[in-house]
Every structure is written in structure tokens, then in C-alpha cells.
Amino acid sequence: MSQVQAPNVYDAEPIPEAARAEIDRLLSTGDLFRYTAAQDAPVTLLEREFAELMGSKYALAVSSCSAALFLSLKALDLPRGAKVLIPAFTFGAVPSAIVHADCQPVLVECGSNFRMDLEDFEAKLTDEISAIIISHMRGHTSDMDAIMQLAEARGIPVIEDAAHSLGTLWSGRKIGTIGSIGCFSFQSYKLLNAGEGGVMITDDAEIVARAVIMSGAYEHNWKKHDGLQAAFERWQNKLPLYNLRLQNLSAAVIRPQLDELAQRVTSGRSNHDYVAETLNSSPWLDVPPPLAQELRAPDSIQFNLVGMSDMEVTAFTRHAEAAGVKVQVFGKSTDNARAFWNWQFIEGEMPDLPQTRAMLMRACDVRLPARLKTPELDFIADALTGAASEAMAEQRAYGT
Ligand SMILES: *Cc1c(COP(=O)(O)O)cnc(C)c1O
């Protein structure tokens, strides 16, 4: 038996020491607003560094990934009521951002590998669709080659919700740079932690200029965003100011973490793959493999319960919790924000999505932060395979 205590997978990592001097400077000067300094405010520097890291022309840091998604839709200038295609397996914030932008989400089925079902995607990609948000839920990349081909053939813009995909590669390309806009989160459960925050990246000057103004670059504050003079002048006073800016303290917390990103990606992936191998040795647990083009950057693990009845699923989560590992079955935990039937704020009748529903009733979610070490990973993996065996043995013993 392992002597390791059940690891706390909810704790964050400490913010790098290097952030302290800058935070002290900001506190002593009170210079917290991104547009006070004449140049090189921490938020501006973060945008420059993030754009460079991703190899994209422009980055706009904002208050959350939800804000980035909202501004992306607004920047595309979609008409009121425009339909936006999204995978039905995502976080409730995604359809919410669409509703916030006065648009209508259209949900696409997802398969047992957690990725969007391309047949349903193609069937729903009609002339009525104005935009697509591909949410790479929990960092599982949907087939971007097929998606981009279908979207480009119809001239429909693709926004990537890469909130959980920072560091993921698709055929060597960075996720978030494949669609016209990529959106990321700095909320605490993501790879870069500022408590709250987000960023959008694009190579499109018109889109970023519109988003910058709407994010709250009122009057001539847009002059502090480089190289877009003509585009900004076109939109001066023509767009609402939604004030979704990031503040300097958040940028100061994030910037030193950029240096740690590569390490977090590598550790996260090797931790994930290590645990996946043990889970896949159980006949009751299945971790779907990545797509061939995909090099993942996970900080959690998802797996399906195979051949279990509803009662056995309940027994499994009970045994896992007793062993010290809390497992969330997406579709079974009450009011889960990742179960589409709980998005009752969407207008109209909720479509029947049997494939996604079936997946959510068996798909499990366990956090697996990059900081975990081998004994802790063994603890989690053994607790899960043990719980599955116990749940199934129990059932056989009681069965007739
Ligand atoms: C966290 C998350 C969001 C929302 O990010 P916020 O910064 O909290 O708004 C959106 N989509 C996915 C896939 C996420 O994981």
C-alpha cells in the first residue's frame, strides 16, 4: 500500500517569486490601470509577450476568457440573433458568451472521445450559421483540419476557445492560432493563473482594433496599442465600450509564469499519460487516445466508464471518494455547468443530443495538476482502478 496521502488536486501553485518586485512597485505607485502609463504598462507588455509566444500578430488581454469570446463575436459584427455553432460538450460560459453577444448557440454532438462529431457538425453547418466557436473542452482538440476546411469553404469565421489548451499543438501549430481568433483564460484552474483574466489573439487588424475599443479603450487610449492607427480611426466613437479590461496587477502575476509554461506543459502531459496507462489497464476504464495530429497539454484527465450500469457508476464514484479521489461524472453531478441540459438560459427548445448525453453519463473528470509527483500519480491511478474493480466485484457478488 502506498503511504502517500490523498493529493490535494485543487491547490494552485505558488506565483513565481519574480512577480513580487513588480507587484510591490505597482502597489507603491498605485499604477493599476492599464492606460495610465504613457507606455509599457504591465498589461501592454503581457500582450506583447503573449503574442510573441503564440506567434500571432495581435493579443488583447481582457478580464476573462468569457470576455474574450464575447468580444470576438462582437468584433465579427454578427447581426442580432445570429447562430453560432459550438460543441455540446463545453463549459456553460461558452453558450453564455454567445447569449451575451445577442447570438443564438447551436449545439453539435460530441463523441465518446470528447471531441466534436464531424458528421453532425457538417449537417448543422448550414447557411444559417454565422460563426463557429470550437471549444477544445478540457484540452481535447477537435479535428481542426476537417473543421477549417468545411468552415473556409463556406466563409464562416472560426473562433477557438482554447481556455484549456494553452500549449497544445496540432500538426505542430499552436492551438488558438488556427481559427481567425483564439481565446485563452487566466482563471485559477488554467495553466496560467491570475485568479481571473483572459486574452484573445488574432492576425486580423480589423478584428483586434474593434475588440480593443469595445474592451474599453475609450477616447484615444487605443494609441497605446501599437500599429493599428488606420483601423482605430475607422472605429473611433462608433462602438460601445464594454469595459472588460485587465488590470496591471493581474498582468504582473501572469508575466513571470510565461517562463514556466513549457515546463508545465511537459509535466502535465507526462503526468496525464502516466496515469492514463494505468487506467487503461482496467477493463472498466478507458482514456481515449489523442488524435494523430494532436500533442496535448493536459492539467486534468478524462476517462469513460465502460460496461457499468448506473448503479455501478455510483458505486465507482463512492469507492473512489472513500479512497481519497473525488471523481466527477459530468452528467451525474447535480447542476454540472458542463452538462448541456443545465443551460436552460438558452432560448428555444433544447435539442435532443443522445450521443453527447450518453458520453456525459459515463465520462469522468479528475484534476491532475502539473506539479504532482509519481507517488501522488500512483495514488490517484490506483484509487481509480481499485474503485472500478470494487464496484464491479460488489455488483457480481450481489447479482443473481
Ligand atoms: C475556463 C473555461 C472557460 C471560461 O474561462 P473564464 O476565464 O473563466 O471566463 C471557457 N471555456 C473553457 C473550455 C474553459 O475551460
Nearest one of 245, 244, 231 to 100, comparing CA atoms: 244
Distance 187 CA to ligand 1 centre (A): 8
**In the chain, beta strands by DSSP E:** 58-62, 83-87, 104-108, 129-135, 158-161, 169-170, 173-174, 181-185, 198-202, 285-286, 294-295, 300-305, 328-329, 363-367
Read off the pLDDT of each residue in 370-392 and give the average, rounded to a whole number. Answer: 97
Q: Is any ligand 1 atom within 6 A of the Cβ of residue 61?
A: no
* HSE, side-chain direction, 13 A CA sphere, residue 328: 14
Report the run of H or E that residue 170 belongs to, with start and end.
strand 169-170
For ligand 1, atom 12: residue with the closest CA: 163
Cα torsion at 339, 345, 349, 354 (round to 10°)? 0
Q: Which three cell numbers stand for residue 129?
A: 450559421
At 337-354, the pLDDT tens digits run 999 999 999 999 889 999
C-alpha angle 379-383-384 in degrees, rounded to nearest 5: 120
Say which range, 209-213, 341-345, 389-393, 395-399, has the weakest mean pLDDT.
Answer: 395-399
Q: In Å, what is the CA distance from 343 to each residue of 67, 299, 340?
A: 18, 25, 5
Q: Is any ligand 1 atom within 6 A of the Cβ of residue 198?
A: yes
Q: Is any ligand 1 atom within 6 A of the Cβ of residue 187?
A: yes
Domain covering 260-397 assigned CATH 3.40.1280.10 in the classification: no
Distance 185 CA to ligand 1 centre (A): 6
Distance 93 CA to ligand 1 centre (A): 6
Q: Which of 73, 86, 161 to mutate to test the pocket of ligand 1 (most atoms within 8 A of CB)?
A: 161
C-alpha angle 204-207-208 in degrees, rounded to nearest 5: 85
Report the run of H or E that residue 267 belongs to, with start and end.
helix 261-280
Could you tell me the maximum CA-CA distance found in the chain, to the nearest angstrom?
A: 77
Distance 230 CA to ligand 1 centre (A): 32
Backbone angles phi, psi at 37, to 5 degrees: -65, 145
Class of domain 18-259: alpha beta
Q: Which three cell numbers stand for residue 381?
A: 491511478
pLDDT band at 2 (very low <50, low <70, confident <90, very high): very low
Residue 193 near residue 252 (C-beta atoms within 8 A): no
Across the beta sheet with 158-161, the strand order is: 58-62, 198-202, 181-185, 158-161, 129-135, 83-87, 104-108
Nearest one of 249, 197, 195, 224 to 25, comparing CA atoms: 249
How far is 181 from 186, CA to CA, in rounded Å? Answer: 17
Q: Which three cell numbers stand for residue 399?
A: 447479482
pLDDT band at 223 (very low <50, low <70, confident <90, very high): very high
pTM of the predicted model as reported, rounded to 2 decimal places: 0.97
Q: Is any ligand 1 atom within 6 A of the Cβ of residue 93?
A: yes
Distance 348 CA to ligand 1 centre (A): 24
Q: Residue 179: helix, strand or coil by DSSP?
A: coil
Using the predicted structure, report yes or no on whether residue 106 has a pLDDT greater than 90: yes
At 297-320, the pLDDT tens digits run 999 999 999 999 999 999 999 999
Q: Is any ligand 1 atom within 6 A of the Cβ of residue 166?
A: no
Q: Is any ligand 1 atom within 6 A of the Cβ of residue 64?
A: yes
How far is 284 from 306, CA to CA, in rounded Å? Answer: 5
Q: Is any ligand 1 atom within 6 A of the Cβ of residue 72?
A: no
Report percent pLDDT > 70 for the chain. Answer: 98
How far is 35 from 139, CA to CA, in rounded Å? Answer: 33
Domain parsing of the chain, residue ranges: 18-259, 260-397
How far is 369 from 12, CA to CA, in rounded Å? Answer: 8
Read off the pLDDT of each residue in 255-278 and give the average, rounded to a whole number. Answer: 97
For ligand 1, atom 5: residue with the closest CA: 65
